[in-house]
Amino acid sequence: MKEGPDISQIGALIGDPARANMLTALMGGQALTASELAGAAGITLPTASSHLSKLEAGGLVTQRKQGRHRYFTLADNEVGLLLENIMGFAAGRGHLRTRPGPKDPALRKARVCYNHLAGDFGVRMLDRLITDGDVTLDGEEAALTPSGEARIAALGIDITALKAQRRPVCRTCLDWSERRSHLAGSLGEALLARFIADGWARREKDSRAVRFTAEGERRFTAAFG
């Protein structure tokens, strides 16, 4: 008995309804903030924070600080597989869990993340820059290559002005709706500003959604599709 704190620890972590709800919310693969997870679990922030620290100590989730947010994700693929396994088992004996309502598709497509572009468009843009060799990644850090600088300059963005600032030009930011990174930093901000200034897109009121015009979407796809 003494030697086996094993399977019961994992069980206990999953066994609390609030924690189970948070883990289920994270099963989507999205990184969620503590507040969002608190909402998903129907508990207050302090309670959620306590739960999250336990889940982290148990190795089920990891957090990534991003500004004043803390994005939580499942620790790795294995956790997802384990949860999926348990969910399948539970579905066989217990009740089926009704899926939470679908999110606003517009938010998933394109939205602001602080000041830069996020969502499917944001992720696609960074993907393209990387595969074209215009941006190199080093962990969470990113850097613009000479060819990348030329490409950005062609869009009408003053790179030297950005580099003169103390802020990092290139950064990656974990995307909320996709599971992958998009471009942040002063360059990310400048790009979004450019899109809006050029009439490719506009921000929606009281929402983080960014709505591209038909023409804007065409141009964006031509540039980064």
Partner DNA sequence: CGAATGCTTCGGTTACCATCGAAGTATGAA
Partner DNA sequence: TTCATACTTCGATGGTAACCGAAGCATTCG
Which spans of this chain sit near a copy of itself (rule: CB under 8 A)? 1, 3-17, 19-21, 23-24, 40-42, 58-59, 78-79, 82-83, 85-87, 89-98
Does residue 44 touch DNA according to CB under 7 A?
yes
Backbone angles phi, psi at 157, to 5 degrees: -110, 135
Residue 140 CB, nearest approach to a copy of itself (Å): 23
Q: Which is nearer to DNA, 49 or 136 (CB)?
A: 49
Residue 9 CB, nearest approach to a copy of itself (Å): 6
Residue of 5, 29, 47, 153 that binds DNA (CB under 7 A): 47
Candidate segments 36-44, 87-95, 138-146, 149-157, binder of DNA by CB under 7 A? 36-44
Nearest residue to 157 via CA among 113, 189, 124, 130: 189
Q: Which is nearer to a copy of itself, 40 or 126 (CB)?
A: 40
CA end-to-end span of the chain: 59
Phi and psi based region of residue 29 (left: phi greater than 0; alpha: psi -120 to 50; beta: remaining): left
Residue 92 CB, nearest approach to a copy of itself (Å): 7
Query: Which amino acid does the sequence have at 36?
Result: E
Quote the CA–CA distance of 122 and 178 in Å, as a whole number.
9
Q: Which residues does residue 142 pair with via DSSP β-bridges, in sequence order?
A: 137
Q: Which is nearer to DNA, 57 or 161 (CB)?
A: 57
Q: Which residues does residue 173 pair with via DSSP β-bridges, in sequence order?
A: 182
Give the largest Cα separation in the chain, rounded: 68
Query: Which amino acid does the sequence have at 153?
Result: A
Quote the CA–CA distance of 222 and 216 in Å, as a whole number.
10
Task: Tell me how crowded residue 199 is: count the other CB atoms within 10 A of its CB.
Answer: 11
34 binds, among DNA, a copy of itself, none (CB under 5 to 8 A by kind): DNA
14 binds, among DNA, a copy of itself, none (CB under 5 to 8 A by kind): a copy of itself
Backbone angles phi, psi at 219, to 5 degrees: -70, -40
193 binds, among a copy of itself, DNA, none (CB under 5 to 8 A by kind): none
Q: Which is nearer to a copy of itself, 42 or 199 (CB)?
A: 42
Residues near DNA, by CB under 7 A: 12, 16-18, 33-36, 43-54, 63, 65, 67-70, 114-115
